[in-house]
């Protein structure tokens, strides 16, 4: 049984990543007798503290329109070649594709109709 078979279309599950690590408070704050508040708890002269971190594994991204890419040299691109309905401009895919340095640095986001780009 597939865990994702009941998932709605175009929904991508993102799991929370948990990591536990240890920190030496004495190395961070060598002054004797210092009190440090961590998440409401007081830590006093404790040698090593265990810290648990939870986060979403997200990476910041940057996007631009095809017209904005004119005149730029792009290092890597992810392009969606599915054109919106209505008037199709071949230039919408030509501009970013012609300004990337290597074919290996092009990622196509999803399947597309090749006849629509001619």
pLDDT tens-digit readout, 37-78 = 554 455 555 667 788 889 888 888 788 887 787 788 888 888
Rounded-to-integer distance, Cα 78 and Cα 82, Å = 12
Q: Which of 10-14, 27-31, 51-55, 104-108 has the lowest mean pLDDT?
A: 27-31
CA-based angle 69:72:74, to the nearest 5? 85
CA-closest candidate to residue 66, choices 56, 54, 80: 80
pTM, two decimals, is 0.45
Q: Where are the domains of the chain?
A: 17-55, 59-118
């Amino acid at each position: 049984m597939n865990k994702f078979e009941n998932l709605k279309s175009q929904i991508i599950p993102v799991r929370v990543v948990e990591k536990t690590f240890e920190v030496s408070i004495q190395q961070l704050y060598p002054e004797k007798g210092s009190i440090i508040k961590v998440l409401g708890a007081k830590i006093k002269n404790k040698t090593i503290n265990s810290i648990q971190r939870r986060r979403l594994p997200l990476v910041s991204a940057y996007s631009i329109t095809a017209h904005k890419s004119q005149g730029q040299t792009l290092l890597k691109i992810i392009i969606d070649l599915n054109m919106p309905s209505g008037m199709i401009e071949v230039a919408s895919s030509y501009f970013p594709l012609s300004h990337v340095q290597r074919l290996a640095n092009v990622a196509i986001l999803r399947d597309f109709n090749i006849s629509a780009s001619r």
